[in-house]
Amino acid sequence: MDNFMEKFSVDDSTYAQVQVRATFYPKFENEKSDQEVRTRMIEMVSKGLATLEVSLKHSGSLFMYAGSEGGAYAKNSFGNIYTAVGVFVLGRMFREAWGSEAARMQAEFNDFLERNRMCISMELVTAVLGDHGQRPKEDFVVVTAVTELGNGKPKFYSTPEIIAFCRNWRLPTNHVWLFSTRKAVTSFFAAFDALSEEGTATSVCRALDEVADISIPGSKDHIKVQGEILEGIVARIVSHESSKHMEKVLNDFPPPPMEGAGLDLGPSLREICTANRSDETQQIKALLKGVGSSFCPDHSDWLGTGAGDAHSRNADPSVLSIFLKSHPADFSTTKLQEVVHLMKEKRLPAAFKCYQNYHKHDSMSSDNVFYKMVIHVRSDSAFQRYQKEMKSKPGLWPLYRGFFVDINLFKANKERAAEIAKNKSTVAEVNGGCGMSGKHGLAEEDANLMIKLKFLTYKLRTFLIRNGLSTLFKQGPAAYKAYYLRQMKIWGTSAGKQRELSKMLDEWAVYIRRKCGNKHMSSSVYLSEAEPFLEQYAKRSPQNQALIGSAGNLVNAENFLAIVEGGRDEEGDLEKESVPSSPSASVADTIPKAEGLIVFFPGLPGSAKSALCKELLKAPRGFGDDRPVQSLMGDLVKGKYWQKVADERRKKPYSIMLADKNAPNVEVWRQIEDMCHRTRASAVPVVPDSEGTESNPFSLDALAVFMFRVLQRANHPGNLDKNSPNAGYVLLMFYHLYEGKTRREFDCELVERFGSLVKMPLLTSERNPLPDPVKSTLEDGINLYNLHTDRHGRLDSSRGAYTKEWAKWEKQLREILFGNARYFNSVQVPFESSVKEVSEQLRKIAKGEYKTPEYRTSDSGKRKISAITFAAITLPITDIKGLLDNLAGKDSKVEAFLKDKNLENSINKAHVTLAHKRSHGVTAVANYGTFLHKQVPVDITALLFTDIMAAFEACPGSVEGERVTPKNEWPHVTLWTAEGVLGKEANLLSNLHLEGKATRIAIDPPATIHGTLEFY
């Protein structure tokens, strides 16, 4: 296809017109903690302001479909194996549902979506695109959103509307529950807490069915098509009218028949992928052929125009700038330009990738061009920052997940320009209120309340086993253990489960390393080894079975796994969950002199670490003690640098090692942690001081100074100096290694890992802002870097599709930086001052005078949500002891019994157990959620005792007119058991009294003690 953009110029007649093609829900980040969100949800439902809607989270990939003309899209891409698989599976769903009528209905569905400008979003669950928590038994989709795109802001259907739409077209729907009363919603959260560490699809669905006001089973039974391992559930606030709306939809749209059941639907997805193993393109062609022309008549998004053009994966960087400079042809274009302008102005971590639109090939000309733009948000921090902007700009459109836009750039004559202006004013009046106002009369903050709740049985597979493979194989069992313990700490996993998981994961580490040797196991098929291991482990005991959840029935995926060229990970879930660290001052504050010390540098080239190391080596007794100081420069070490540092540490265990090499990521930090553990050393990170940005610990000002310094260097041992043609690219590469962390999160994690942090002064506090030409050049470089890495990964900038652009930018960078040399020389803290400051901080650490800083994140101090096992009323110890003393003064038998028991000191807790999930079931425990944290009156009616145990007989009263009814057959407060007697044996006291084997002292009238109902 001709590249018309080379001839396309911007002038006053240039217009842009956009059409949103696909969007998924905006990603709203709760500013409150999970516990605060829960509390607000319960409050809103209790007051009748809203209903809580809960749905299953299937373990798959986001897939969006806008018709054969509108296109098929994955989370951040199109025209690849992900979307080919999606189209095939969706097409097959039509065949299963409509049978012989499928071809006609597929064509009608495409026409309907195009005519009404709609998009459907689905969870694509398949065994051919890599392993998640469990390989599904079948390949399927579940519709999660239906969107009207129209000419204005996208409108998302409510869940009742989605079910009506799907049942009309016979598309698969999700399992949904509605909770519209306080009792129901509190029971829901309690049920999750009871199941969070052991829940499977069967136990979760059964419990939610029992506590929900309305349950709408999904078209696809999770247990039958995916399996027992359930990723999680999603809870969100919806209209209080939702229950009535849902009941009407269920009455008007009964579940549709499946007319394709039993018919020969042709080769399956797995059969096609098995038969076509040469490359991704071959698999795509075979899948599209298998879909059929009625559903997918146009293959150009995947294969080009058929006129010899292969599908271009090269984004055209010139389209975006022209789009932003063009006159908007309609209201939607104006709003989209606002979105993009803001994102670029605020430097949100996102890429705007524009590709030729092959569907419009025949309409292309030098003054009329068509492109598809992918708005690829790279970090969740972008959504958080964008939300803040929306609060101050009410008319701003949301930032969607899965955001795809068709762009038409054209020249308009005077007549058409006048017509556009007239239409825009009319549409603007109609769409004037298109801001993100709250829905159903709810405030915006409440309308967007949502919480994702995941199960440990899923997380142990994906996060602890799959995502830990790299650490285990590259760094060994010790680093792997540190990794999984850190994850469990972040999640707040109970102590018991941590012990069980540690035992299992240590055994897994030995098993898989012995089986695979040094060959790194692929995470995309990790279940081939993990599933058999988990199955055998679960068989050893009921406790192991509960830990694992479910294992066995492995689907063999190796032969039909889709070929994903370039190692793309469309969902981006192959890394561990990113959670801001929250260290406290509990880390050791001093460094024992018997230990060695490693000083290392999480920074960028140009941060003056080598010059600093030279100065530290010169200083006599530089660290204030007699330990020898040595330095190891990374650019002069051949082979593995950190292994060399470890070797030197072993030779001189009590020395101070200056590790003169950039240590930019968690993987290196783990190596240093492991080295400290193995060689009895402490480590101190030294970082350039910088304000950072909202997504990077280093500001653009700092990056500019680093680049300026590097481009002034000559004869650098690592060949990164003024003679390096790609020096700018290398600095950008290092800069992006830190992307995704704020400065606070970066500092916080380093302190948590190493107990200290030294900051090296870099820029003067009172300085002029970074010159606009410098800022603009850096932003252009970052955008180019994002395009390059999206296409080529870590390929050097001297190779690939953007070599010309890189050469042009490197030249411009040098001109701009050197043109502002006076500015850069004036804003840097003098090197001598920086060395003095760092030296003083290091001496304090070495002498033990350093105090660990305490960093607080937004969730610091907030109550963590824990897994629960039973419900109980906790009673004040003083009241219990007072009652015993009173009884002893009135009854000689009680006095004699208590005489040698020392209960005054031995009673340290008292509670009435109401229900235990092992004995009474999850729902029984969850139903006490409505009384959580409330005061309950408890009548103590008798004291029962034998020579080995004693307990009060208890009868809970009412809260706000509702009786608190125990599930325990004999409610009681255990007071004492003899050594070797378990507390649960006190349950037998009532029966022992009936048998004449226990003494019962009645308390008449009963003594009333008030306690708080809690979950444990």
- What are the φ and ψ backbone dihedral angles of 322, each rounded to 5 degrees? -65, -40
What gap in Å lies between CA 750 and CA 385, rounded to an integer?
24
Q: Cβ-count burial of 75 within 10 angstroms (0-12 exposed, 13-18 middle, 19+ buried)?
A: buried
Question: Which one from 7, 27, 32, 57 is the annotated catalytic residue?
Answer: 57
Query: Residue 694 region, left (φ>0) first, then alpha (ψ -120 to 50), else beta?
Result: alpha
What gap in Å lies between CA 38 and CA 450, rounded to an integer?
9
What gap in Å lies between CA 992 and CA 477, rounded to an integer?
53
Nearest to 1015 by CA among 187, 211, 202, 451: 187
Nearest to 534 by CA among 521, 522, 520, 547: 547
DSSP string, 362-399: GG-BTTEEEEEEEEEE--HHHHHHHHHHHHH-TTPPP-
Nearest to 508 by CA among 539, 472, 463: 472
Q: Which residues pair with 632 in a beta bridge?
A: 659
Query: Residue 384 region, left (φ>0) first, then alpha (ψ -120 to 50), else beta?
Result: alpha
> For residue 427, what are its two tokens?
């549409």
What gap in Å lies between CA 512 and CA 83, rounded to an integer?
33
Whether the bond between 1005 and the residue before it is cis, its omega within 30 degrees of 0, is: yes
Pairing type for strands 596-601 and 656-662 reads parallel
Is 57 marked active-site?
Answer: yes
Q: Cβ-count burial of 907 within 10 angstroms (0-12 exposed, 13-18 middle, 19+ buried)?
A: middle
Nearest to 570 by CA among 84, 147, 232, 233: 84
> For residue 506, what are its two tokens?
């240590």
For residue 506, the one-letter residue type is D
Nearest to 77 by CA among 419, 85, 657, 239: 85
What gap in Å lies between CA 808 and CA 726, rounded to an integer?
11
> For residue 355, what are its two tokens?
């590709």
DSSP 349: S
User: How far are the Cα atoms of 881, 907, 940, 975 from residue 902, in angstroms, in the given order?
Assistant: 11, 9, 21, 11
- 8 Å CB contact between 788 and 773: no
What gap in Å lies between CA 497 and CA 509, rounded to an integer?
18
The string over 538-565, giving b where at least 16 C-beta atoms fall within 10 Å of a residue's C-beta and e elsewhere, is beeeeebebbbbbbeebbebeebbbbbe
What gap in Å lies between CA 688 and CA 662, rounded to an integer?
12
The four Cα atoms 496, 498, 501, 507 give a dihedral, to 10 degrees, of -110
Q: What angle do CA 221, 224, 229 make, to 5 degrees?
A: 90
Q: Which residues pair with 963 in a beta bridge?
A: 958
DSSP 768: P
> For residue 259, what are its two tokens?
């007319």
- 8 Å CB contact between 170 and 91: no
What gap in Å lies between CA 318 and CA 804, rounded to an integer?
13
- 8 Å CB contact between 687 and 699: no
- How many CB atoms lie under 10 A from the CB of residue 659? 27
Separation of CA 892 from chain center: 64
What gap in Å lies between CA 255 and CA 277, rounded to an integer?
39
Catalytic site residues? 57
